[in-house]
Amino acid sequence: MKIEIKEISHPVFNLKDVRLFIKRIDKLHPFVSGNKFFKLKYNLLECERKGHHTLLTFGGAYSNHIAASAFIAKSKGLKSIGIIRGEECLPLNHTLRFALKNGMKLHYVSRSNYKKKNTANFLESLKIKFGDFYLIPEGGTNEFAIQGSEEIIEPIDYQDYICCPVGTGGTIAGIINISNSKQIVIGFPAIKGFEQLQRDINSWTNSTNYKLINDYVGGGYAKINNELVEFINKFNATHNISLDAIYNGKMFMGIMDLIGKDYFPKGSSILAIHTGGLQANQGMTERLGVSLPLE
Ligand SMILES: *Cc1c(COP(=O)(O)O)cnc(C)c1O
């Protein structure tokens, strides 16, 4: 797959003698997060291999994974079911409208029941309700997702550092697996719970050439502040690249800050993976009244 890589410039990069390249997997689709295509690829093959015609997965009302699963299931001629955390809230937000439009059946479960989603009893009740399905866990992370994420990085990606936003850690685990041992992979978590994340990632990769930097998670998942909103809008005005506020905004704020603090040795090159996720900016804008790039 040919994916655009764009080098961006900034006076600070010259001063610090670093180069920053952005791998635009966000451009794979205007709405569906780029990394979700990679995470779903081998899951779809496995679903087909097992002869299932329905894909079932889980997520919150703003989930990029729900939007992506609905879209990709439809494009492959599969039915899809989304088990959504919490009550139905009308009018539906952008994410859920998109999921419905792509044929996903939405099934809401209370937050307390949602917590039981991995138990045998809960899964059995879903089987009784919906019949046979291929199950993809919340966030889409499983061994097949990691296999797909290994294709995000290609042999031409030679840079010294690879930066990637982190949710469940599936995407970065694939990237770590495929990186060469001289590269350093840096993850920017968007969710609190650093130690669990570290354990999860270590269960999916044997390589140790990575680091999670936890200083840019802000108030936590989907929590934003004025500084972040200003950063995203300024980044867009300067580089003409739209960032989502949940993942990539925080990562790029982190990268720029680290460059300013001499984190990267002189002469280094950095490849940042722009994973997309722009669809969530719509919901944020509607809910919080802030101004963020929408496309
Ligand atoms: C899901 C998502 C991530 C996080 O991916 P994980 O594999 O869960 O770590 C990062 N960026 C965007 C835009 C996403 O939608």
Q: Is the CB of 189 under 6 A from ligand 1?
A: no
Query: What is the torsion angle, in degrees rounded to the nearest 10, for the CA atoms of residue 295, residue 282, residue 9 and residue 15?
Result: 170
Compute the distance from residue 69 Cα to the ligand 1 centre, in Å: 13
Cβ of 242 closer than 6 Å to ligand 1, yes or no, is no
Instruction: Provide the CA 223 distance to its chain's centre, in angstroms.
Output: 16
Q: Does ligand 1 come within 6 angstroms of the Cβ of 142?
A: no
Q: What is the DSSP string of 54-110?
A: EEEEEE-TT-HHHHHHHHHHHHTT-EEEEEEES---SSP-HHHHHHHHTTEEEEEE-
- Maximum pairwise Cα distance, the chain: 63
Q: What does the alpha-carbon distance between residue 47 and residue 78 come to, in Å, rounded to a whole number?
A: 10
Q: Which two tokens stand for residue 48?
A: 């087909």
**Residue 78 pLDDT:** 97
Task: Give, for all 295 residues of the chain, the pLDDT tens digit.
Answer: 689 999 999 999 999 999 999 999 999 988 888 999 999 999 999 999 999 999 999 999 989 999 999 999 999 999 999 999 999 999 999 899 999 999 999 999 999 999 999 999 999 999 999 999 999 999 899 999 999 999 999 999 999 999 999 999 999 999 999 999 999 999 999 999 999 999 999 999 999 999 999 999 999 888 999 999 999 999 999 999 999 999 999 999 999 999 999 999 999 999 999 999 998 898 889 888 899 999 8
276 close to ligand 1 (CB < 6 Angstrom): yes
Q: What is the dihedral of CA 51, 54, 60, 66, to 10 degrees?
A: 80
Pocket test for ligand 1, best of 247, 252, 282 (most atoms within 8 A of CB): 247
Q: CB of 66 within 8 A of CB of 59?
A: yes
- Could you give the domains of the chain? 5-31+147-288 (3.40.50.1100), 35-140 (3.40.50.1100)
- Looking at residue 32, its pLDDT comes to 85
Sheet architecture: strand order including 269-273: 5-8, 19-23, 269-273, 161-166, 184-189, 210-212
Give me the helix-helix angle, 64-75 and 34-49, nearest 10°. 50
- What 8-state DSSP symbol labels residue 32? S
Q: Verify whether ligand 1 is closer than 6 Å to residue 222 (CB atom).
A: no
State whether the beta carbon of 139 lies less than 6 angstroms from ligand 1. yes
147 lines ligand 1 (CB under 6 A): no
Q: Which atom of ligand 1 is nearest to the CA of 64?
A: 15
Whether the predicted model's global pTM rises above the 0.85 cut? yes
In a 3-state reduction of DSSP, which class is residue 186? strand
At position 161, the amino acid (one-letter code) is Y
CA of 2 to the centre of ligand 1 (A): 21
pLDDT of residue 2: 82
Evaluate: CB of 277 within 6 angstroms of ligand 1: yes
Closest listed residue to residue 1, CA positions, set 148, 169, 177? 148
The closest of 138, 86, 89, 139 to 109, measured between CA atoms, is: 86
Q: Are 151 and 38 in contact (CB under 8 A)?
A: yes
Structure confidence at residue 55 (pLDDT): 97
Q: Residue 221 to residues 190, 192, 215, 247, 295: CA-CA distances in angstroms?
A: 6, 7, 13, 9, 22
99-129 burial by CB neighbour count: b if 16+ within 10 A, else e? beebebebebbeeeebeebeeeebeeebeee
SS3 164: strand
